[in-house]
Each structure stands twice: as structure tokens, then as C-alpha cells.
Copies of this chain bind each other. A is one copy, B any other.
Amino acid sequence: MNQQSTFRKKLQHIIFDFNTIPAKLFDLVLIAAILLSVVVVMLDSVTRIHLDYGDVLYIMEWFFTLLFTLEYALRLYVASSKTKYAFSFFGIIDLLSILPTYFSILFPGTQYLLVIRFFRVLRIFRLLKLGKFVREGEFVKASLMASSRKIVIFLFFVLVTVSIIGALMYLIEGEENGFHSIPEGVYWAIVTITTVGYGDIYPQTIMGRMLAAVLMITGYSIIAVPTGIVSAEMASMNEKIKSDLSGIKSCCTSLDHDEDAGFCKVCGKPIR
């Protein structure tokens, strides 16, 4: 192994891994930079701040963009497979989160697309992986997955309901009461069934209000359905974990697990 390859290996470890001090530090600095750069973009969108501090923010934006460009180049350089990284989820996000600044030279305004940088913060979960967060995250994800089909059915019924009621409201209320088209009626029905209720559009006839009342009580009651689905799934997963654990205590409690271990090295069952 020559010296350059050793250096690259070390760099690769720092950039892509997350379980040693320098690697953790790199991730922390990176996330801080991402958050700061997003705050810069956000503040720059406020007219008053833009007028007073526009220059400073402009320089900071370019500083972060150049930094992230360097980081992207490094990632490409050290990646085992350049193509694989470039076309991975994070590879695309990394590229998209630097391009807008360069484009903004030609097309002003596009720099706001930098908000896509937010997706990079998802890397924070790599850091959290080191603790118990990953197991909890996996738990939430797994119960949502297990419930996904039931939730799709639920959403389908919600969509059919808001479509039909939205169209009925257009017929009942009409243009003069703010329902200018069926899609606008459907939009109103979504605002109502989700109990958001902006109040930009609302029924004014007696028939319309009666239909709205039915929709509201429906929306208020059926929230019980996804909640029930997820609750029941999580309760049954909680129980499964518990019964799995009770059967393996002899094996798993006698071992010293790594800080970042989510599963027992010996039997592969989850540690809590």
C-alpha cells in the first residue's frame, strides 16, 4: 500500500464513517455548516435584512458553496466507486445543494433553491446511529411500514370523499360564494377534513353549511383510523420485542455490547 492510498483511505474513513473521533468531528462540523448556510439563505430572503446585510450574506453564501464544492470533490475522490456515490441519494443531494449558487450568476433568484441543502441535514441520523436513536428510528419506520397498506386505503377513501364533497360544494355554493371551480371545492374540502380551516373559502348557504358540518365531523372522527392503526401496530411491536427479549436474556445480558450495537452480537436479537 503506497502513501497516497493510505492518505485516501484515511480521508475516506473520516468522510464516510462515523464511529471514531475525527469522523464524528467531521460530521458535526459539516452539519453545523449546512445549518448555518441554510440560515444564511433564509435570512437573505427577508427584504429588510437583504438590504442591510446583503453583501455579507452574499459572501457567506459563496463561502459555503465553495466549501461544499470542495467537500463534494473530496467525496468523489475518495469514494470506492465514483459512479455509485454520484448517483446515490446523498450524491445527488450533495450536487444539487451547490449548483443553485453557480446558476444564480446567470439566473438571479435560483439561489433560493439552496433550501435543498436541508436534505443534507438528514446525515445527522448517521451520527445519531451511534446512540439508541437508530433503534427508535427503526422502530417508528418499521411500524409505519407495517401500517402502510392500511394507511394507503385510508388515504384513498379520504381522497374520494374530498373529491365528491368538493364537487358538491361547487354545485351548492357556486362562484358567488368563493367556490370558483371544482378543484377549488376539492381544495376547500381538504382544508376542512384535515381541520386546518384557513377561512379563505367557506360555505355561506344553509345547504353548504350542513354539508360542511358533515365533512367536519367526518374529518374529526376518522383521524381515529390512522391513529388506531399506528397505535395498534406499535403496541404489538412493543410486545414482540419484549417477548423476544425475555427469551434471550441469558445470552445477551452477560455480554458487554458496543456502544453503537443495536443487536446482540451472538444471537442477533435487538438490545434495549
Spell out A's residues near B (CB within 8 Å). 38, 41-43, 45-47, 112-113, 115-116, 118-119, 121-122, 124, 132-133, 136-137, 139-140, 143-144, 149-156, 158, 160, 163-164, 167-168, 170-171, 175, 180-183, 186-187, 190-200, 202, 206, 209, 212-213, 216-217, 219-221, 223-239, 242
A128's nearest neighbour on chain B, judged by CB, is B153
A251 to chain B, nearest CB (A): 23
- CB atoms of B153 and A140 under 8 A apart: yes
Q: How many copies does the complex hold?
A: 4
B194 near A229 with CB under 8 A, answer no
Q: CB distance A231 to B234 under 8 Å? A: yes
The DSSP consensus for interface residues of chain A is helix
A63–chain B nearest beta-carbon distance, Å:
19
Contact call B239/A236, Cβ cutoff below 8 A:
yes
Q: Do A221 and B151 have beta carbons less than 8 Å apart? A: yes
Looking across the interface, which residue of chain B has its beta carbon closest to that of A159? B217
Kindly provide the distance from the CB of A239 to the nearest chain B CB, expressed in whole angstroms: 7
Contact between chains at A227 and B230 (CB < 8 Å): yes
Determine how close the nearest CB of chain B comes to the CB of A13; give it in whole angstroms.
27
